Chains A and B, each alone.
Chain A
Amino acid sequence: MTIVELGLPKRLVEFTVDGQAVSVPEGATILDACSAVGKEIPTLCYGDTLKPANACRVCMVEVEGSRTLVPSCSRKAEPGMVVHTDSERTRTSRKVVLELLGSATDLSTTPGVAEWMAEAGADPERFGPPAPPSDDRDDALPGEHEPVDGLTAATVRQPVKVDNALYVRDYGKCILCYKCVDACGDQWQNSFAISVAGRGFGARISTEFSTPLPDSACVYCGNCVEVCPTGALSFKAEHDKREDGTWDESAQTETTTVCTFCGVGCNLTLHVQDNEIVKVTSPHDSSVTHGNLCIKGRFGWQHVQNT
């Protein structure tokens, strides 16, 4: 007997994107449809293993008949929809969104964003020079706001948090996309070590009472780092190499193998530079891990290179 699981049959939905007819299975999003026809839509908060958070507003597209622009990452395709990804409204929206993100946040380690900025003609500098880093951002109470003088651009800059041997949290790079919170919470890890604290521009990702990670509920699975789009969360090994200028992605290979610890069989992608494992990720399409690992899989590789 041979059984191949086919899943439930799905109807196809037909609509147009920039005048091009596309058809996708029912339930697919506009972003899925664009990917299917090779049309790249920039996005930061979209996660292939996560439910859409609709947070970054970079992927907004125009749907005829809709009063506002819609986020392509979560809006499901409907029959007969007429979608524009490159209209004046979408271009203006993307330019302003990128300028606001770029003025408030350090996007220097965000892949792709420099090209998107250039393409959109975004100028994050136009709001003035960035305000200096704040030491007490974590202490802000909801509703508390410093009066602004308009001379500098408000930023989320704050000192880098290095409070353990495995992760570094550089919240000056955080765009509040919620992906780390979702990965730590009920979508995958169920540890609930981090959440969004504060309101408005004072909102930030925080542990409970902003304690250092070692005193929090964190179990160091690294699943938040896996999904972080900007490098706000990074592994200490990577952070240190970036700091001393030896991090070189162009010289790295990525090889997928299987974890050496328990018998679950998690897929690990080893990032190797100069015959040294420098980072471990997991393929998001693995039926075993869906991109998630535990502390041993994520960090337990050092023993092979202790020589």
Chain B
Amino acid sequence: MKRRKDTTPYTRLTEPLVRDSGVLRPATWEEALDRAAAGFRRTLDTKGPEGFGMFSCARSTNEMNYVAQKFTRAVMGTNNVDSCNRTCHAPSVAGLARVFDSGGGTSSYAEIEDSDVIVIWGGNPREAHPIFFQHVLKAVHKGAKLFVVDPRQTSTAKWAHRQLQLEVGTDIPLANAIAREIIHSGLANTTFIERATEGYEEFAASVEPWTLEVAEQVTKVPAELIKELAHTYARADRGQMSWTLGITEHHNGTDNVLSLINLSLLAGQVGRYGAGLNPLRGQNNVQGGGDMGAIPDRMPGFQDILDPAVRAKFDEAWGSHIPPYKGKNLTQMLEAMEDGLITCVYVIGENPVQSEADCEHTIKRLSNIEHLVVQDIFLTKTAQLADVVLPASAAWCESDGTFTNSERRVQRVRKAVNPPAGARDDIEVISELARRLGHDWHYSGDDGREVWDELRSLSPIHTGMSYERLEELGGIQWPCYSEDTLEPSFLHARLWAEDPAERGRPAPFTVLRHSPPVDVLDDEFPLRLTTGRRLDSYNTGVQSGGFPSPRRRGETLDLCSADAAQLGVVEDEMVQISSRRGAIVAPVRIDEGLRPGLAFMTFHFPDEVDVNVITIEATDPVAGTAEYKAAAIRVDKLSSGGPGGLAPRLGSGARPQKTQFDAVAG
């Protein structure tokens, strides 16, 4: 059943564009680079370094991310650099780093196959991470027990031995109840807790109110299922806890992550082969982007920006003066644009206009600034707002470098095709801009090796990873401190060491409070909307829209048949979906995997149905990630004749306001 009309896929950008009198027109590379650099210089002169912000690219190579954050810190003199990790797994990084001083998943895919209990919480890897799920299924076929915690009965959940279909936004009550059950059943790993953790007493006291009965009331998960997960996970020899955006895309995403970490500490399910904590990263190099320092609070190699010795090392290597304080994250940068504090933004390969929650607001903010430079392979909705557009090459097949995956494995990316004439390599472009601003880095440009070797000399966890060695070993997981050693495939073995000095800083338990979704349900907006991915599409669809998928069916509003009956709507009927922020129109699809009161949409077809018009921008105070997973909506039958009949106050999708883009020749 295909409903999607054939929309024209995006075509590659092949010449730079500059804005004159409000209109983008083709330009030479010289002119475009000069314009871009002049705008950056003007910002430095008028606003100072903090007037600049960089949106780096989680899709591009480690090498490009290293150079982008170096540009931000060494050329512009600010730490305002971030990427779309903010819209997905920043809470995972924040939570893991707070407890273990390291923001990576702790296990390897191969270990998952040898686990005996696997908990997948707030994730649908069968569709969103299919090859990871093959490793899970290997374990299942070998006898491992799979628990899936998700409000929807997903295709992942269909493989589960037990599914805990919780109410959206009740992850902390559920985790706390599991914790209490583990403690009361005497299944807590007391030896591990005493040796390797701290804060257990306060934590144990804090979960005391969360009896199975109370948790059942709040989460809607039957008490016996909560008990079974608690007992099975705590008794497992090798227990895995894995999650994705169902945990992180909440206004309290970091707390959600910490609630899962608490369970692993309680059961001693971390720091051993096959036992660990694994956020499944959503983008090819979102792990690497953060590892390379394209985040506002960490230098490359996850080194603390507040440590004077770390800054001194980089300042010496780069001849820079890195500010001794954290920069703004993506969410804060967007706010600073609205407040006029940031007036100049360099966006590389990101599409915040369509990927940020409440996108009308994002458009307003990006339209508000003085100088917007966008470097991309397509003229995205974000690029259409830019003052200068720079056509880039596609990192994964048109450049040499490395990506880092969800198991911390750094793997070689190789140039297989030449970019279309007119497009240039990201590193070359950034270096050209740096040169115009007085920093000549002399990177040769066509091979990431020079950049990578510079990174290796400054980041201890990458030092042992020469290109030759990455090639020979099929990728290497960090940390890798020297060229003649390899570390275990899992992190934090130190926590199990006999010697307290070797154990290092104890891992803290965190006391967590239940905080329901910000967008409350009421009579006007009685349905809960949650969002996610489908197998054959990807994020805003700019890339995955380019191939003909037999399974693609376009955007739908998924409802269970009971809700549809109550609303008096049928499959394929176009309906209006509104939230407190706006309204959109989409066809209904019946999905019996949903419970009454719960609706589901993707965000893959923003050009047709812009779901982020109705999602909420409430953000996690620690990590800045928005609550895409929990909006309050109402669904109305269309009175007559489709979207034209909508009330005028309602947004009708992303429409860039600043641009009248003239079709570029060719």
Counting residue pairs across A and B whose Cβ atoms lie within 8 Å, the total is 191
* Known interface pairs A287-B110, A307-B420; A260-B551 also in contact (CB < 8 Å): no
B117 within 8 Å of A (CB atoms): no
Contacts of A303 in B (CB 8 A): 9-10, 377-378, 542-547
B13 (CB) vs chain A CBs: closest residue? A307
B12 (CB) vs chain A CBs: closest residue? A307
B410 (CB) vs chain A CBs: closest residue? A265
Contacts of B110 in A (CB 8 A): 287
Looking at chain B's contact residues, the main secondary structure is: loop
Q: Flag if B415 contacts A255 (CB, 8 Å).
A: yes
B305 within 8 Å of A (CB atoms): no
A288 to B583, CA, bound (A): 42
A262 to B9, CA, bound (A): 20
For chain B, the count of residues having a C-beta within 8 Å of the partner chain is 69
B141 within 8 Å of A (CB atoms): yes
A90 within 8 Å of B (CB atoms): no
Query: From residue 445 to 497 of chain B, which have CB atoms closer than 8 A to chain A?
Result: 474-475, 485-489, 493
Binds A, one of B40-48, B125-133, B625-633: B125-133
B412 within 8 Å of A (CB atoms): yes
A253 to B405, CA, bound (A): 25
* Known interface pairs A214-B550, A255-B416; A263-B535 also in contact (CB < 8 Å): no
Binds A, one of B208-216, B275-283, B635-643: B275-283
A99 to B490, CA, bound (A): 53
- A 254-281 to B, binary, CB cutoff 8 A, 1 in contact else 0: 0111111111111100101001110000
Q: Flag if A287 contacts B487 (CB, 8 Å).
A: no
- A 266-307 to B, binary, CB cutoff 8 A, 1 in contact else 0: 110010100111000000011111101111110111111111
Q: Flag if A190 contacts B137 (CB, 8 Å).
A: yes
For chain A, the count of residues having a C-beta within 8 Å of the partner chain is 57
B137 (CB) vs chain A CBs: closest residue? A190
* Known interface pairs A257-B412, A261-B284; A302-B405 also in contact (CB < 8 Å): no
* Known interface pairs A264-B405, A306-B11, A307-B14; A258-B546 also in contact (CB < 8 Å): no
Residue of B128, B131, B280, B485 with highest tally of chain A CB at under 10 A = B131
Q: Flag if B549 contacts A295 (CB, 8 Å).
A: yes
* Known interface pairs A303-B545, A307-B420; A219-B551 also in contact (CB < 8 Å): yes
B407 within 8 Å of A (CB atoms): yes
Residue of B134, B487, B548 with highest tally of chain A CB at under 10 A = B134
B60 to chain A, nearest CB (A): 10
Binds B, one of A1-9, A30-38, A174-182: A1-9
Choice from A166, A258, A275, A276 contacting B396 with Cβ under 8 Å: A258
B309 within 8 Å of A (CB atoms): no
A149 within 8 Å of B (CB atoms): no
A262 to chain B, nearest CB (A): 5
Contacts of A270 in B (CB 8 A): 397, 416-417
A189 within 8 Å of B (CB atoms): yes
* Known interface pairs A165-B550, A220-B536; A264-B129 also in contact (CB < 8 Å): yes
A261 to B130, CA, bound (A): 11
Question: Residues on B close to A: CB < 8 A?
Answer: 9-12, 14, 59, 109-110, 128-132, 134, 137, 141, 159, 280-287, 377-378, 394-398, 403-407, 409, 411-418, 420, 474-475, 485-489, 493, 535-538, 542-551
Q: Which 4 A-B pairs have the closest CB atoms?
A: A265-B405, A263-B281, A303-B546, A255-B416
Could you write out 9 A-B pairs with CB less than 8 Å apart?
A2-B485, A3-B488, A165-B550, A265-B284, A288-B411, A288-B475, A302-B546, A304-B417, A307-B14
